[in-house]
Structure 1
Amino acid sequence: MTQAPITAAQEWRANWTLVLAAATGFSFMAIMTTSMGAFIGPLVEEFGWSRTVVSMGMPIAGLLSVLLSPLVGLFIDRRGPRRLAIPGLAGMIVCTAAFGLISGAVWQWVALWIVYAFVSLAVTVTVWTSAVARVFTAGRGLALGLTLAGTAVAQAVAPVLATWLIAQFGWRTAYIAIALGWGGVALVLCFLFFRSPSDLLAQQQDTSALPGLTIPQAWRDPGLWRIAISTFVLMILTIGLLIHQIPILIEAGVSAQNAALLAGAGGLAGILGKLVTGVLVDRFRANWVGGITLGFTAFAFLLLMDGVRTPTLIVVAMLINGYSAGTKLQICSYLTSRYGGLRNFGTIFGFIGSLTALGSALGPLLAGMVYDRTGGYEPFLIAGTIGCAFCGLLIVTLPRYPDWNEGQVRDDDSSAAAPNARGLA
């Protein structure tokens, strides 16, 4: 007799603590990025550094992520995500606290960022999504959305928290308090609850029991390539807009204070985007939901263009960009798990993660270059309008993803072994 499929409600009752731990761990991974703005002024004032020196840590972390993310994914597939997450969080706590102990030497700042970049690879997005994807099937979309909402929570809370701590106790204590407080909670939750079937499979040396593509099959799969290309282009465009959004708004006549408020509203819209998209992809065709959502981002660029924008449309544009910013990685990870299966999810998503990191690094640079060469952001906004529409089209026209039946594994390297295709009901 065939066993009835497990429902989303049953998955949530059994695994909600895993999602809580993953979301908290992922939020701490984003803490340095989301709180950096609060520390720039105090560091410049105390050490006399330029803003370029203070900001050089992010590109260092991004470069190492581009180079090493696939190896991290391979480790996850072979050994399980818990073996990275627990020591990674402990290392992140130590590194974050260490920023509060620097003496003012630039070499010390750079060296600490290099160490931080290596440690942060152990708590990258692939670690958290791989664990959640392997315990959720019917409710995978919402589970991934809530996991990835950790960064949106950090974006909303960390700047305010860091600013208050700096004002009350100084920037050195602020680093240490955030590390031990936020990081300590994340470490405890992950130590208690962050476990997935992949950890057990790794202990049993039987990771091939999970269904999905082999690495050569994934490398040749056109659907996965379309997901990767779409995510790469979207990261270039949307992160470029995210970093330059305040100067773009000021150029459009918005005051600096209101521009900051609009940026914060975009962060709240990002949380909403993750939740709504998670619910939708669990109920409808994921490529349709993802393609329409990502393609709709084109309006964020279009509505900010000179001759189009009005005060009302500027607000709408910022909410659209914030909403879509909350969905990019969620849609990418969900579709990757559906089209590539779970057998080598870490390795496959690790490669896409490299493209994501590269796109995130290139976007702000390209937007800045456009402004320096043309005296405005119009060419970048035009490129964003066209590019986002193209990326949405790539996703919405994907073929139906494979039906990875329980226990079905493609051991050979031929397309004839492909499972039957179907869409979401």
Structure 2
Amino acid sequence: MGAGAPAAVRRGRACTPCARPPRRRRHVTVAAGSASAAAGSASAAAGPVKSPPSGWRAFFGWRIAGAGAVILTLQSALVLQAFGTYAVILQERFGWSRTTISIAYSFNRAESGLLGPLHGWALHRFGSRRVMRVGAVIVTIGFVSFSQVSTPVQYVVSFFVIAVGASLSGFLTVNTEIVRWFERRRTRALSLASVGFAAGGLLTPAVVLALRHFGWRQTAFGSGLLLGAAAFLLATFFGTSPAERGEVVDGAARPPADRSHRAIARRDLTAREALHTRAFWLLAFGHASALLVVGSVIAHLSLFLTTEEGFSLQGASFVVAGIPIAQVAGMALGGVLGDRMSKRVLCSAAMFGHVAGLLLLTFATHLWMVWAFVVLHGLAWGMRGPLMSAIRADYFGSTSFGQIMGYSSIITMFGMVGGPLFAGVLADVTGSYQAGFTILAALSATGSVLFALAAPPSFDAGPATTTPAP
């Protein structure tokens, strides 16, 4: 030993801390969803990765769903649910026929079908934030022009403009963004946003009060400013992906054990591939059959109650507002069950609620039958509505979701357009809604079979992930 060696070593007593260099502590950042040492080493080499937020409150995807719920609440209250009230007032004010009223609503709904593929392409090309803000401007212009109408042509054109703006800033844009942020919790997130449709219905009595107190022109003008400003500002929450914000889909670092009764492997399909599957067409026509009832109820319920059931306009507004209450319960049920069991079975079951509810309304001789319709129709609509987007996302993936929904809207348009127009024409010809509503209920019953047959598509092997079975 040299003279410079430590005394303890010279005396033969090795000092452990001094005998070997201290071990360097390794700092490894593990990527979200990975627990293996290899993944940890890769993360260490690549640099720190932002940890996923803890708790659903911190996950940005829930903020997107909440912002979407606010937008859909305003659209439901001021456009969708308000249409029936405007129809009663305009018929009294100008003496227009129910067919004329139906044409305006049909044009409103035809827009979403005719422009659906273009809307889907725009979302894919420009992003949801830009599309939503363009829609916010257009819907404001539409309401301002509607507040000045005095002829049927002006009425139809202005409602078409409103429909374009509401579509660009509404349902498809909101759902496309949510699908990008969620997978395992997709149905729950879509249900949360869809609560907006129900909440808007609860505001129907308030809209009626505004129409009576301020007048329909002033209410329409104010509705445009409110809806346009809200959509433009809330668009700030849209337009980014989880990766761009340093987060992961669902906001979960580690996916829980699959609790579904089975799982399916899938890869994201392009719009062209989806169009070549049997499932695409069965889902589209099943969805359209449901909208025969939904569209007819939205367009004609207030007219039916005031002209054939002896309700006042204010009384009819309370019935309309009752549907969303049942709808919320249906959304809660569908949101929980939709992530745990077969979505197509749930959709088939919901169709019986639509059919039975409409028949009870059509042949109502007692007040309880009207309210039974409210419960059945609301539950069915609430449970089925979010599943329409969730099942398509499960089947076809999220990459081309907007475009696929856009093409689907060409088919579903016939339900939202044809149902109200058919019911309105038959009501003018026969003097009653009974024949039209009965035929529409029978046609809608076919939707249950279509959904039951809509099995997941099969395709060649490719990059796959595992998701709960629809």
Shared fold per TM-score greater than 0.5 = yes
Secondary structure of residue in 1 paired with 2:405: helix
Give, in whole Å, the separation in 2 of the partners of 1:371 and 1:8: 56
Secondary structure of residue in 2 paired with 1:264: helix
Which residue matches 2:137? 90
Residue from 165, 168, 171 that aligns with 1:125: 171
Which residue matches 1:220? 276
Which residue matches 2:193? 147
1:266 CA displacement: 1.8
Aligned sequence identity (%): 20
Give, in whole Å, the separation in 2 of the partners of 1:400 and 1:2: 32
Give, in whole Å, the separation in 2 of the partners of 1:279 and 1:12: 21
Give, in whole Å, the separation in 2 of the partners of 1:79 and 1:341: 19
Which residue matches 1:161? 206
* Larger-Rg structure: 2
Gapped runs of 5+ residues in structure 1?
Answer: 202-209, 403-413
Secondary structure of residue in 2 paired with 1:134: helix
Gapped runs of 5+ residues in structure 2?
Answer: 1-29, 35-51, 246-265
Task: Give the number of aligned pairs.
Answer: 401
Which residue matches 1:407? none
1:112 CA displacement: 3.4
Q: Is the 8 A contact 1:8 1:137 kept in 2?
A: no
Q: Is the 8 A contact 1:231 1:356 kept in 2?
A: yes
Read off the aligned partner of 1:69 and give its amino acid letter.
G
Q: Is the 8 A contact 2:338 2:346 kept in 1?
A: yes
Read off the aligned partner of 1:273 and give its amino acid letter.
G
- Residues 1:61 and 1:2: Cα distance change in structure 2 (over 3 Å): same
Secondary structure of residue in 1 paired with 2:341: coil
Which residue matches 2:336? 279
Secondary structure of residue in 2 paired with 1:197: coil
1:256 CA displacement: 5.1
1:331 corresponds to 2:387: yes
Read off the aligned partner of 1:4 and give its amino acid letter.
G
Give, in whole Å, the separation in 1 of the partners of 2:223 and 2:166: 16
Q: Is the 8 A contact 1:25 1:187 kept in 2?
A: no
Equivalences for residues 331-370 of structure 1 within 5 A: 331-370=387-426
Equivalences for residues 12-23 of structure 1 within 5 A: 13-23=59-69
1:333 CA displacement: 0.8
Give, in whole Å, the separation in 1 of the partners of 2:327 and 2:420: 19
Give, in whole Å, the separation in 1 of the partners of 2:208 and 2:54: 40
Give, in whole Å, the separation in 2 of the partners of 1:164 and 1:45: 17
- Residues 1:189 and 1:199: Cα distance change in structure 2 (over 3 Å): farther
Give, in whole Å, the separation in 2 of the partners of 1:279 and 1:335: 14
Residue from 113, 116, 138 that aligns with 2:184: 138
Give, in whole Å, the separation in 1 of the partners of 2:333 and 2:423: 29
Which residue matches 1:233? 289
Q: Is the 8 A contact 1:211 1:342 kept in 2?
A: no
Alignment TM-score, normalising by the size of structure 2: 0.72
Q: Is the 8 A contact 1:291 1:393 kept in 2?
A: yes
Residue from 362, 367, 375 that aligns with 1:319: 375
1:228 CA displacement: 0.7
Deviations 1:71-92 (A, max 9, x none): 1112212332112012211332
Deviations 1:368-393 (A, max 9, x none): 45556667656555545554443223
Q: Which is further off, 30-39 or 15-24?
A: 30-39
Residue from 12, 33, 51 that aligns with 1:4: 33
Read off the aligned partner of 1:197 and give its amino acid letter.
S
Deviations 1:24-48 (A, max 9, x none): 22334442332234445665677x4
Secondary structure of residue in 1 paired with 2:239: coil
Deviations 1:114-142 (A, max 9, x none): 44344334224211110011101121112
More helix by share: 1
Give, in whole Å, the separation in 2 of the partners of 1:375 and 1:56: 18
Which residue matches 1:66? 113
Secondary structure of residue in 1 paired with 2:81: helix
Which residue matches 2:448? 392
Q: How much is the aligned-residue C-alpha RMSD, in angstroms?
A: 3.8
Give, in whole Å, the separation in 2 of the partners of 1:281 and 1:184: 34
Q: Is the 8 A contact 2:202 2:322 kept in 1?
A: no
Which residue matches 1:180? 225
Q: Is the 8 A contact 2:134 2:169 kept in 1?
A: no
Equivalences for residues 246-257 of structure 1 within 5 A: 255=311
Q: Is the 8 A contact 2:84 2:301 kept in 1?
A: no
Give, in whole Å, the separation in 1 of the partners of 2:397 and 2:134: 27
1:252 CA displacement: 8.2
- Residues 1:291 and 1:9: Cα distance change in structure 2 (over 3 Å): farther
1:230 CA displacement: 0.5
Give, in whole Å, the separation in 2 of the partners of 1:303 and 1:49: 29
1:145 CA displacement: 1.2
1:177 CA displacement: 2.4
Read off the aligned partner of 1:174 and give its amino acid letter.
T
Give, in whole Å, the separation in 2 of the partners of 1:117 and 1:198: 30
Equivalences for residues 20-31 of structure 1 within 5 A: 20-30=66-76, 31=78
Read off the aligned partner of 1:338 and give its amino acid letter.
D
Read off the aligned partner of 2:352 and give its amino acid letter.
G
1:271 CA displacement: 2.6
Alignment TM-score, normalising by the size of structure 1: 0.79
Read off the aligned partner of 2:107 and give its amino acid letter.
I
Which residue matches 2:239? 195
Which residue matches 1:408? none
- Residues 1:3 and 1:37: Cα distance change in structure 2 (over 3 Å): closer
Give, in whole Å, the separation in 2 of the partners of 1:97 and 1:69: 24
Give, in whole Å, the separation in 1 of the partners of 2:224 and 2:304: 33
Give, in whole Å, the separation in 1 of the partners of 2:63 and 2:302: 37
1:69 CA displacement: 0.8
